[in-house]
Chains A and B, each alone.
Chain A
Amino acid sequence: MSEILVQERNIVIPGETLAQGMDYLPGDNTYREDDKIYSKILGLVYISGRVIRITPLSGPYVPKIGDKIIARTIDITMSGWRADTETAYSAMLNIKEATSRFIKKEEDLSQIIGIGDYIVVQIINVTSQNMIDLTMREAGLHKITGGRIIKINCQKVPRVIGKQASMIMMIKEKTGCEITVGQNGLIWLKGTSEGELKAEKAIKLIEQKSHLEGLTDKVQKFLEELA
């Protein structure tokens, strides 16, 4: 006899029993002990067929191949740059992944990307020990100049972008800002100072209310009231 003890989109805390019996399977952020499935994290329950999984409401960024992130260079080495990714692990950007131009042996790498510069990069490799390799040779990846960087919890990034990027398009349109969202929770805003401030307020609002439904309308109303 198997039964699910929670409903879709319920908020559960770690150690909460989700289901009983062997008919259900533990998905992301859950674990099975004996014939019960328990939650492993504070989050929302999603049930797809027999699999129960939980999307976290908060938590650290786990690097994944293909993610676009915003990082800050913290060191220059023989072969490239070391970048801080706002996680427990720093990342390496090799010279050949930074530019398509030929770089001479004696060239000063700080002229290309200096220490402290922010860069929009993509993750090309992650090892089991969470060592990260980056590239800047895809479309839309570049060194950041001007604007401002804000930080949000990385679990709220999907809400900031919205379905088919609806949320981010709306904020861009209303504030006239250029916005780049990194999967690690760093966001780059560039526009007029008022526009940047408005966009920042809107994004902070999304971060606060990310667990509610109908968020795009709320944010739209918020931005219209600000104007």
Chain B
Amino acid sequence: MVYTKRVDGRKIEELRPMIAKVGVIANADGSAYFKMGNTVAYAAVYGPRELFPKFLQNPKTGIIRCHYSMMPFSGSGERIRPGGNRRSQEISKVMNDSLEPVVDLSAFPNAVVDIFVDLPQTDAGTRCAAITAVSMALADAGIPMKDIVSAVAVGEVDGTVVADLNYDEEAYDAIVSDIPVAMTHIKKEVTLLQMDGEISKSQLMKAIEMAKLATDKIYAVQKQALLDKFVKE
């Protein structure tokens, strides 16, 4: 059976409805909210501030430090033990790697920008929603950045390449691949590319082309959210 009709009735390249806001956390230096379907991410940015432990300090540039965390009842299954675990450590690391190329902290040697992402509700694509939210939060915090990063998950579900998989598609009873992709806007440089499952080379190239179009749509939402903070009365 070929996967022609998606479980939630979307078109194959259609994204889930998105909502984005910036400046949602007053005590943070920058913050953002990003909702994609039923996946919700809050990002808060603090700093640049003094970096401890001291051995992490880089005298040539400031660094960023991501903290990813899913809230206890955010998933659809069991309660998730709060705090760090192996999965969140990995995601924090790949988030760092996907954002580092655009952030320019050369004016802040030895300093750190701390980034916290909390997900109160999840339905697949959390690392993508997190990266998208952090990108807005960093811009809101006035951190110098060369570009905005937008992220989306693409993949193959039973032979069909689709964009923005939800949990039901990730768990579909067939061969499924789930490929989170993060891209810069101007040059479409890939800053994150991971995969679960398996896919052929030609389908992968098709999926990445689809991700390019999808990140453009996400970028438009991010941009509007950033501008909406400063509407004239």
Contacts and interface: CB of A to CB of B under 8 A. Distances in A.
B142 interface: yes
Interface in A10-36: 11, 13-17, 29, 31, 33
Interface stretch (A37-45, A111-119, A141-149, A194-202): A37-45
Contacts of A13: 139, 148, 222-223, 226-227
A155 B143 CA distance: 12
Contacts of B147: 14-15, 38
Contacts of B47: 60, 88
B1 interface: no
Nearest to B103: A14
B48 A88 contact: yes
B108 interface: yes
Interface string A106-124: 0000000000000000000
Interface stretch (A51-59, A172-180, A219-227): A51-59
A15 B146 contact: yes
A56 B142 contact: yes
B176 interface: no
Contact of B148 (A15, A17, A58): A15
Interface string B15-34: 00000000000000110000
Majority DSSP secondary structure for residues of B touching A: loop
Contacts of A78: none
Interface string B97-126: 000001010011111100000000000000
Contact of A130 (B109, B142, B226): B109
Contacts of B227: 11, 13
B158 to A, nearest CB: 37
Interface string B135-174: 0000111111111100000000000000000000000000
Contact of B108 (A33, A130, A211): A130
Interface string A63-77: 000000000000000
B186 A129 contact: no
A87 interface: yes
B142 A15 contact: no
Contacts of A150: none
Interface residues of B, number: 37
Contact of A42 (B29, B50, B142): B142
A1 interface: no
A139 interface: no
B96 interface: no
B115 to A, nearest CB: 14
Contacts of B223: 13, 16
Contact of A57 (B62, B142, B184): B142
A62 B30 contact: no
Nearest to A211: B230
A200 to B, nearest CB: 15
A65 to B, nearest CB: 15
B78 interface: no
Interface string A126-156: 0011100000000000000000000000010
A206 B62 CA distance: 30
Contacts of A59: 141-143
A88 B30 CA distance: 16
Interface in A207-224: 211-212
A41 B145 contact: yes
Given A58-B140, A129-B109, A11 B185 contact: no
7 contacts: A11-B230, A13-B222, A40-B146, A60-B29, A87-B48, A88-B48, A130-B110
Given A15-B148, A38-B186, A129-B109, 7 more contacts: A15-B102, A31-B146, A41-B144, A62-B107, A89-B110, A129-B59, A130-B108
Interface of B: 29-30, 47-51, 59, 62, 102, 104, 107-112, 139-148, 184-186, 222-223, 226-227, 230, 232-233
Report the 6 A-B pairs with minimum CB-CB distance, sorted nearest first. A59-B142, A15-B147, A88-B111, A58-B142, A14-B145, A88-B48
